[in-house]
Amino acid sequence: MEFAAIKEQIFADLGIEAINAGIYDGDWGSITGRKTLDIQSPINGEKLAAVALAEDTDYDRLMEKAWESYSVWSKIPAPQRGSIIREIGNELSKYKETLGLLVSLEVGKTRIEGMGEVQEMIDIGDFAVGLSRQLYGVTIASERPHHRLYEQWHPYGVAGVITAFNFPCAVWSWNALIAAVIGNVIVWKPSPNASLTAIATNRICSRILERHGLPPIFFLMVDERGALGERLAKDTRVPLLSFTGSIRTGRQVAQQVSARLGRTILELGGNNAAIVSDKADAEIALRGVAFGALATAGQRCTTTRRLILHAGIYDEFLGKLTRVYQTVKVGNPLEDGVLVGPLINRGAVDLYSAAIRRAVDEGGRVLCGDEVMTIPGYEGGHYVRPTLIEGSPDMGIVCEETFAPILYVLKYSALDEALQIHNSVPQGLSSAIFTTDLREAEAFLSVRGSDCGLANVNTGTAGAEIGGAFGGEKETGGGRESGSDAWKAYARRQTVTINYGAELPLAQGVRFEV
């Protein structure tokens, strides 16, 4: 099916108009008189639609309505909230294909990746449903007679969520569906580069609440340059703010929120490495490194950006990887067989080129790639050739994240050297080692091994299951989202003491007589 036909089909199914309201506060805002933002597809540069932007004057009204909704939503028993989330997951299932295709059109993911992103929302919905009956607090042995001591967890109220373009709806769901089942309501400020996906997602999810006569719990505001995001960061009415984006912006968000003693969940830059040992299964390692480096055109926070390759297999493995890079299909992500689609915009292409030039200036050697591509029929798209650069750990560019398909290849001889190279960057999100040696694997997972939040053995850096907590260390921010007990970040802990006796004994044996 041609691009235009796919666009027409999914716009009709999802209710995307020529101009779409970029604010939802229980009602979709009027588009009249508002500044609009044109949304262009990175596939061919074609305008998809426009979004009427939220304005500063909308903010206070939206926040007031969010707190009004919280006063209702938080009183509903958690298992009943879970049943609503179940219906939301079921509704998302109905739109898996069309919403996934919208992701592809708007941010350039392949069809499989676009639908996989929607599936991730469905999966996290399932997780949240189960969680709704497992919001456990522990009972603690009290040192005082006739006393009970325990912990319980309450929602914060309004949680702000700021998301990036590369996962335009899945990361929102990690936050929103978990936070909602705890009793919070959510104010979402998506990337303007992915605002149509956000609008469609919010519309699908809010429909379920409307059917049940419930107030809105998913609020949305799209702006162009981040002014409303800054208001979220500074607003004491937003006790918790989750931010996904660059380290530079994340540092500003952290300072603004901490200045008012608010809470943050920060998912910032990744500069992920894969160590390939001479004891690796070569086929698994090749597939793991290639997918980790090439998926989503290198625009994942978990993308493999550094290959730390053992000297004993260096030439052979690098020769095979180079052939993969030279033959991988780059182009329209809606076409079968395409693995690498476009970068998000022209600015990303410029950063790709600048990073390669800098790497060469710092002593790197380009093995393949280094090409801004023009795809016939898609001349307005933003395509680049995946690039391999042979380098050294002391190159400054190797310590930085470039959101593009550039992989730096670094040589090592001993595992201690590989781990030192691995941990030498300021980011700490995802990591991998490919080895069949138990001692090497355990060393990588030990306290002296990978310093990242995610550690993988014989699987790549890119991709994570929703059941595990997702997040990183160091400049990656230290936040955790999605599975395990990451839900506790969206709730405030309360320690409860109950005296059911006839006396008032004090802790630590303190005596007080009146």
Q: Who's near 2: CB < 8 A, 6+ residues apart?
A: none
Residues in the chain: 514
Contact (CB, 8 A) for 53 and 245: no
Residue 417 annotated in active site: no
Backbone angles phi, psi at 273, to 5 degrees: -120, 150
Residue 210 annotated in active site: no
Residue 456 CA to residue 244 CA, distance in Å, equals 22
- Closest alpha carbon to 48 in 77, 74, 16: 16
pLDDT at 145 over 70: yes
Please tell me the number of Cα atoms within 13 Å of 221 on its side-chain side. 26
Residue 194 CA to residue 244 CA, distance in Å, equals 14
Tokens 């919905």 map to which residue? 125
Please report which helix (H) or strand (E) contains residue 317, including its range.
Answer: helix 314-327
Residue 225's pLDDT band (cuts 50, 70, 90): confident
Mean pLDDT of all residues in 211-225? 97
Please report which helix (H) or strand (E) contains residue 493, including its range.
Answer: strand 491-499
Q: Who's near 474: CB < 8 A, 6+ residues apart?
A: 426, 427, 428, 451
pLDDT value at residue 1: 66
Class of domain 3-268+477-493 (CATH, top level): alpha beta
Mean pLDDT of all residues in 291-307? 98
Mean pLDDT across the chain: 97
Going from N- to C-terminal start, the domains of the chain cover 3-268+477-493, 272-469
Tokens 């009972």 map to which residue? 139
Residue 418 CA to residue 56 CA, distance in Å, equals 50
Quote the DSSP letter at residue 327.
H
pLDDT value at residue 73: 98
Mean pLDDT of all residues in 409-424? 98
Instruction: Give me the long-range contacts of 252-261 (CB less than 8 A, separation at least 24).
Output: 253/162, 253/229, 254/477, 256/230, 257/233, 259/234, 260/234, 260/236
Mean pLDDT of all residues in 249-261? 98
pLDDT one-digit tens code per residue, 116-142: 999 999 999 999 999 999 999 999 999
pLDDT value at residue 512: 84
Buried/exposed code over 176-198 (b: 16+ C-beta within 10 A; e: otherwise): bbbbbbbbbbbbbbbbbbbbbbb
DSSP secondary structure of 330-378: BS-TTSTT--B---SSHHHHHHHHHHHHHHHHTT-EEEE---EE--TT-
3-state secondary structure of 155: strand
Catalytic residue (one of 169, 205, 301, 452): 301
Please tell me the number of Cα atoms within 13 Å of 284 on its side-chain side. 17
User: Which value, in Å, is the radius of gyration of the alpha carbons in the chain?
Assistant: 24
pLDDT at 235 over 80: yes
3-state secondary structure 260-276: CCCEEEEECCCCEEEEE
Name the percent of the chain lying above pLDDT 90. Answer: 97
pLDDT one-digit tens code per residue, 66-87: 999 999 999 999 999 999 999 9
Q: Which CATH architecture has domain 272-469?
A: 3-Layer(aba) Sandwich (3.40)
Q: Who's near 422: CB < 8 A, 6+ residues apart?
A: 273, 275, 306, 308, 431, 450, 451
Residue 477 CA to residue 337 CA, distance in Å, equals 36
Domains 3-268+477-493 and 272-469 agree in fold: no
- Closest alpha carbon to 371 in 362, 359, 382: 382
pLDDT value at residue 2: 82
Tokens 């219906």 map to which residue? 87
- Closest alpha carbon to 465 in 479, 486, 489: 486
| First CA to last CA distance, the chain | 85
pLDDT one-digit tens code per residue, 313-333: 999 999 999 999 999 999 999
Mean pLDDT of all residues in 182-192? 98
Residue 101 CA to residue 436 CA, distance in Å, equals 39
Catalytic residue (one of 267, 390, 440, 481): 267
pLDDT at 185 over 80: yes
